[in-house]
Amino acid sequence: MVLRADPQALPDGGITAGKLCIGVDVGGTFTDVVLSDGNRVWRAKAASTTGALGRGVIAACRLVARRAGLDMEVMLSRVERFGLGTTAVTNSIASRTGHKVGLVTTRGFEDLVPIARVRRVPRDGWLVPPDSLIERDWIVGVDERIDRDGDVLQPLDVQQTVAAARHLHERFGIEALVVSFLWSCANPAHEAAAVLAIREALPHLPVLSGAALYPVAREYERTTFALLNAYTSGSLDGIDELVDELERLGLPRAPLLVHSGGGSITVAEGRSTPAVLAESGPAAGVVGALAVCRAAGVEDAVACDMGGTSFDMAIVRHGEPMRRTRGELMGIWTAMPMVDIESVTAGGGSIAWIDSLGLLRVGPRSAGAYPGPACYGRGGTEPTVTDALVVLGYIEPSRFLGGDMTLDLEAATAACERLAHRLGSDPRQVAWGIHEIAKVEMVRALRAQFAQRGLDPSGHAIVSMGGCGGLFNALIARELGIQRVLVPELTSVLSAFGAANADIRRERSRSVDLPLPCDAARVEARLSELAGAVQADLAADGIAESDRSVSFEADLRFMRQQSELTIDCSAGFDLAQQQRIVEAFKAEYGRRYGQGALVTGTPVELVTLRAIGRGRTVRAGLTHHASDPSVGPAPVVGTRSVYLGAQTAALQVDVIAGADLLPGQTLEGPTLIDSVDTTIWIPRDVRAVVDAHRTITLEVPR
């Protein structure tokens, strides 16, 4: 990885000579950090510190500074960009430890959130409403009404609204308040007046407006997005403490935070809309995967991140990650622009257990960093996927994290043996069962993602990410008919690399609700308004005008349908372009749902317009190494006994040191590659080629 040192290359992401760039990803198990000085790259992992995010980040920074031969304070003083992906908001939502939030809404619609669009989730054999961020008693309706055209049907009773807010604050002790009225996306005047009045009456109470945060149709999703922001408004306290500590240690500029859309925002913007920082780490990983794809000339891929807690996947199509504007976020259905990432609980720390039917299961519980898998020697006794990999021989205990940490094979075996005793089996069979169940869960999840989008997986490559990904992704590719797996040099810290790459990304959306064709001047005026807003956002973020760009999207649907598809509309919205946009919408609709789903003559609606502002920032790039046509084979540093099945004898396989690999070298499976912070499994009949970026391309036969 290299950061271009030519100051003239700044628009392309370069840094000035003598400066440094840092990317950090705080995961559920490890905190990863990547450091570059423009010519060299160092990386490190430290245990994540639950409840004290800053300690793990500082520990990782101190470790990477030591590897670079620098004092940490000296290192930080030279940093030109500090990118951070964090689980702070994700943890707050997942653990339901956010603020107590009240809601003021239109009278008659107080049950909108509790009903939850009649969604039900399975729990202990029953279908029950999903967990809510708010109790029914904390919701109050007030007199006001606006229709879908934005016309006022009933004026807002301001005094009643203030009294309702005061009642929620004094009676229930709410710590934040959301105001979300019906059709406020069409006319936000009532919401704006209510927020202003409540803030004047209760100046110490945070008050948020649904229409101000995300002015789009669908009142339920708009309201839940506002509730999520109010609920997580205290989640950045740990970030603020970290920022203060980094500044005290000499960091000259505040970190940039990676958000769910795969871009960066300032800490100040993160405080105003903290919910967009959920799924920060996985989104940063997708940014890193995009850099790998571009370097390899791959346009269609799926980023597969197997970390300590989960297996995250995101599909890249035509060189861009697939996105969504609404979806489920840890049990909450909401509207939020985000990279379309799906997760299953099949990480290295996922715990194996036996269910009531006596069947072996894996996840959803995770051992986390503490106590961690049994092999960590920190008190964990339940077997995890990592323990199974140690027992099967895939991971060498003495070389974990480059030798920084020694794993306990006996503890891993004992953990598997406890389940084996209950199953009437032996530890190795249990370990193989854990391995296979984890693999099947990942294959099933990926197959479902491709099917839902009408895509053929065989036309995609896998970008392998995470500490455990290299041990599974060739096997997953074979199951899905995928013939190419890219394992980048920074595979285990690719989310941290992505955090050092994500440009500023700001979005503004407005509901339109017009049948096409429509008045072009009206739409162009709305696009101009949105463009001005994102330009102002980027300017407030300190982005120079020459480093800004704006593109546009439109959400379209067939008349009276519920769901939309997003189509690029950056070329304008005159009548000719409207026809092109409609044709592009129908083509995508037919590809995704089948040509038989198209009904001739059905009108198309323009539902939402969106402006995306991008600000170029200092960012990292992949190092290009010169190839040597006369390069010899990679040296074998040893052999290892690996079990490839429950009943098979151990197979002796060659072990290659990842640090010894050079561009142009090829390897044949079965082989193991031990890198500093990951191990890569090359199965039998799979060929591996090292490219100019030291990315290992696994060629998987059909």
Q: CA-to-CA distance for 348 and 333, rounded, in angstroms?
A: 28
Which CATH number does the domain housing residue 199 bear?
Answer: 3.40.50
Nearest CA to 344 out of 309, 384, 386, 373 is that of 309
Same-domain pairing of 611 and 642: no
Same-domain pairing of 184 and 105: yes
Is the pLDDT confidence value at 379 over 70?
A: yes
Q: Which two tokens stand for residue 486?
A: 């890219």
Q: CA-to-CA distance for 159 and 163, rounded, in angstroms?
A: 6
* Between residues 570 and 309, the one the model is more confident about: 570
Is the pLDDT confidence value at 2 over 50?
A: no
Average pLDDT for the chain: 89
Residue range 147-161: average pLDDT? 95
Same-domain pairing of 188 and 123: yes
Q: Which residue among 551, 580, 615 closes a domain?
A: 615
Residue entry with tokens 């007199």:
143
Domain assignment of residue 330, yes or no: no
**pLDDT level of residue 203 (50, 70, 90 thresholds):** very high
pTM: 0.88
- Per 3-state DSSP, what percentage of the chain is helix, strand, and coil (rounded to 5)? 35, 30, 35
Residue range 437-455: average pLDDT? 93
**Sequence-ordered alpha helix ranges (H) in 406-503:** 409-423, 427-452, 469-480, 494-499
Single-letter residue type at 476: I
Is the pLDDT confidence value at 202 over 90?
A: yes
User: What would the pLDDT profile of 108-122 be if each residue is shown by its tens digit?
Assistant: 999 999 887 767 777
Check the CA dihedral 635-641-643-647 and report its sign.
positive
Q: Highest mean pLDDT range out of 19-23, 268-272, 331-335, 534-538?
A: 534-538
Nearest CA to 28 out of 364, 262, 431, 442 is that of 364
* Between residues 527 and 402, the one the model is more confident about: 527
Tally of structural domains, the chain:
4
User: What would the pLDDT profile of 555-568 be if each residue is shown by its tens digit?
Assistant: 999 998 888 999 99
User: What would the pLDDT profile of 479-529 be if each residue is shown by its tens digit?
Assistant: 999 999 999 999 989 999 999 989 999 999 999 989 999 999 999 999 999
Which CATH number does the domain housing residue 565 bear?
Answer: 3.30.1490
**Sequence-ordered alpha helix ranges (H) in 151-214:** 158-172, 189-201, 210-213
**pLDDT level of residue 15 (50, 70, 90 thresholds):** low
Residue 12: what pLDDT? 45
Same-domain pairing of 532 and 592: yes
Same-domain pairing of 566 and 590: yes
**pLDDT level of residue 454 (50, 70, 90 thresholds):** confident
Same-domain pairing of 521 and 602: yes
Residue 274: what pLDDT? 92
Whether 494 contacts 83, CB under 8 Å: no
Same-domain pairing of 225 and 104: yes
Same-domain pairing of 120 and 223: yes
Q: CA-to-CA distance for 234 and 211, rounded, in angstroms?
A: 21
Residue range 656-663: average pLDDT? 91
Residue 503 per-residue DSSP state: P
Whether 104 contacts 140, CB under 8 Å: yes
Q: Can you tell me whether residue 2 is helix, strand or coil?
A: strand
Residue 605: what pLDDT? 95
Same-domain pairing of 578 and 679: no
Q: Highest mean pLDDT range out of 8-17, 292-301, 367-376?
A: 292-301
Q: Which two tokens stand for residue 227?
A: 């509730």
Residue range 31-46: average pLDDT? 85
Same-domain pairing of 83 and 128: no
Domain assignment of residue 415, yes or no: no
Domain assignment of residue 151, yes or no: yes
Q: Can you tell me whether residue 286 is helix, strand or coil?
A: helix
Domain assignment of residue 426, yes or no: no
| Lowest-confidence segment of 74-83, 112-121, 134-143, 433-442 by average pLDDT | 112-121
Same-domain pairing of 109 and 212: yes
Which CATH number does the domain housing residue 87 bear?
Answer: 3.30.420.40
Domain assignment of residue 61, yes or no: yes
Is the pLDDT confidence value at 307 over 90?
A: no
Percent of the chain with pLDDT over 90: 65
Q: Which residue among 615, 650, 678 closes a domain?
A: 615
* Between residues 537 and 93, the one the model is more confident about: 537
Residue 118: what pLDDT? 64
Single-letter residue type at 374: A
Q: CA-to-CA distance for 176 and 165, rounded, in angstroms?
A: 10
Domain assignment of residue 526, yes or no: yes
Domain that holds residue 660: 636-699
Same-domain pairing of 177 and 221: yes
Residue 3: what pLDDT? 28
Residue range 85-93: average pLDDT? 81
Domain assignment of residue 259, yes or no: yes
Residue range 34-40: average pLDDT? 81
Residue entry with tokens 């030109």:
80
Domain assignment of residue 471, yes or no: no
